[in-house]
Structure 1
Amino acid sequence: MAARLKQLQSKAGQATQFVSKYGTAYYKQVMEQNKQYIQEPPTVEKCNELSKQLFYTRLASIPGRSESFWKEVDFVKHMWRNRHELKVEDAGIAALFGLECFAWFCAGEIVGRGFTFTGYFV
């Protein structure tokens, strides 16, 4: 345990040295490349205004996203009704999609437990 702590401290020291050496130059480069996105004047009031704009813009996009969702649901219903016409490729894609969703669920559960493997695997 002590060896791992020393190793972690060493890595943290290296990271600190790297950031102190290259951090300022990287910051300036990123700010220069993205200056078109910077709002002037950079005040708390401007940040609050932009935050509200983002929130209400996202809120206004809900009807469009809801409409897209229901179109997808209708497409799935149509595919289910006509499942006898379903090709093997389509079924394979659907199975892979379901498997991917399950894998992301499992990964989320593992991350949520702090990267411990219990339940599903043990």
Structure 2
Amino acid sequence: MALTFRLAQLQSKASQASQLVSKHAPLYYKQLLEQNKHYIQDPPTVEICNLLSKQLFYTRLASIPGRCEAFHKEVDYMKHVWKNMNELKIEDAAIATLFGIECFAWYCAGEIVGRGFTFTGYYV
């Protein structure tokens, strides 16, 4: 009986949310387009879309040397820090440790998602 009540309650909330979205979505859509109309290409032809796609691709391609330079600066900084470990402040070490823990946590989350949200050894 409690499950039926909860299902009805959930359906009611979903219906309310659907009504709210259907009421406000067109207004939000129009407002969003109005605010960003300077980004819209008129007329929206296939040729213009192809041109924009190529511009995006080659702009990203042209940004690779700058990204490589920034990466090499980061590597040089890490080499400098590694050489001067005795000058390392506790704050920097704590930040590096937290970053490592965060990377490990994202790796674990990715593994769990990759297995279909199952934990090894637990079957429900």
Q: Which runs of 5+ in 1 are unaligned?
A: none
Aligned to 2:96: 94
Aligned pairs for 1:13-92 within 5 A:
13-92=15-94
Aligned to 1:119: 120
Q: Which runs of 5+ in 2 are unaligned?
A: none
Please identify the structure whose Cα radius of gyration is greater.
Answer: 2
Shift of 1:19: 3.0
Shift of 1:5: 7.8
Q: TM-score, normalised by structure 2?
A: 0.78
Shift of 1:17: 2.9
Shift of 1:8: 6.9
Q: TM-score, normalised by structure 1?
A: 0.79
Shift of 1:14: 4.3
| Identity value in percent | 71
Count of aligned positions: 120
Q: Which amino acid aligns with 1:56?
A: Y
Residue by residue, what CA displacement relative to the aligned partner does 1:31-65 show, whole Å, maximum 9, x if unpaired? 11111111121222211211111111001101110
> What is the DSSP-based 3-state SS (H/G/I as helix, E as strand, rest coil) of the residue aligned with 1:115?
coil
Q: Which amino acid aligns with 1:88?
A: I
Aligned to 1:104: 106
